[in-house]
Amino acid sequence: MHGAGIVQPQHRVIDAGAQAEIIDAKAECAVSAVMLSRTMSLRFRSVTQRANQGRIAWFLLVGCGAAAIHWTVVVGLVSHGAWQPLTANVVGWLTAFLFSFAGHHRLTFRDRRVLLRTAAPRFFAISAGGFALNESAYALLLGFGLASSYQWVLLAVLIGVAGVTYLLSRHWAFLGNPAP
């Protein structure tokens, strides 16, 4: 007797071969999912590596441009304007800062999708800190009697500060939401 509204379970006999095929299909599906996951992970890493390589290339290009502007302004002011190297260095940095920020915001870190009002003060802080290091090292080296080679001393200092600037820019100034 069946009661009203009560569902009785139906018992079915499952063929052992069919059950084995279902189990095999599930196992193949799991293996395929793992393989797909690994493939996607490798592709993501490859895309990430290419993005980082591109970012480093843009950083070098923009950074070299900014360093060239900085160096040219300083050498021009010292040789043609009779400025003192340390004073000219301030003007060189401010001029190069504008080029550097624009280039890094639009090229080097464009995939970070960070707002200008967020990145600008961060980058300025990093750049000002880098400039403080630059000016200190420059003053120290010029004080060791290298004033006659001020342009080569400045070049060495600019190269030395560039690595710190890249790391801080990447991990703080332009930290945002990477493109999917």
| Distant-in-sequence, close-in-space partners of 124: CB < 8 Å, separation ≥ 6 | 97, 101
Rounded alpha-carbon distances, angstroms, from residue 98 to 25, 67, 94: 61, 12, 7
Q: Which residues contact 127 (CB under 8 A, 6 or more apart)?
A: 93, 97, 100, 101, 165
Helices 16-81 and 150-168: angle between axes, nearest 10 degrees: 150
Q: What is the CA radius of gyration of the chain?
A: 31
CA distances to 42, 67, 115 from 91, rounded to whole Å, are 47, 13, 27
Q: What is the pLDDT of residue 56?
A: 86
Structure tokens at 89: 């260095």
Percent of the chain having pLDDT more than 70?
71
User: What is the number of helices (H) and of strands (E) in the chain?
Assistant: 4, 0
Going by C-beta distance under 8 Å and a sequence separation of 6 or more, which residues neighbour residue 134?
89, 93, 157, 158, 161
pLDDT in the model for residue 88: 97
Which tokens belong to 3? 């009661």
131 confidence band (pLDDT: 50, 70, 90): very high
Angstrom distances, CA of residue 1 to CA of 4, 9, 10, 11, 114: 10, 14, 15, 17, 71
Q: How would residue 45 be classed by pLDDT, with cut points 50, 70 and 90? A: low
- Which pair of structure tokens corresponds to residue 128? 């000002």
pLDDT score for 172: 84
pLDDT digits (tens, 9 = 90+) for 57-106: 998 899 999 999 999 999 999 999 999 999 999 999 999 999 999 999 99
Whether 31 shows a pLDDT value over 90: the answer reads: no
pLDDT at residue number 145: 84
pLDDT tens readout for residues 139-158: 999 998 877 889 999 998 99
Q: How far is CA 60 from CA 26, 148, 156, in A?
A: 50, 28, 15
pLDDT at 13 over 60: no
* pLDDT score recorded for residue 9: 57
pLDDT value, residue 178? 59
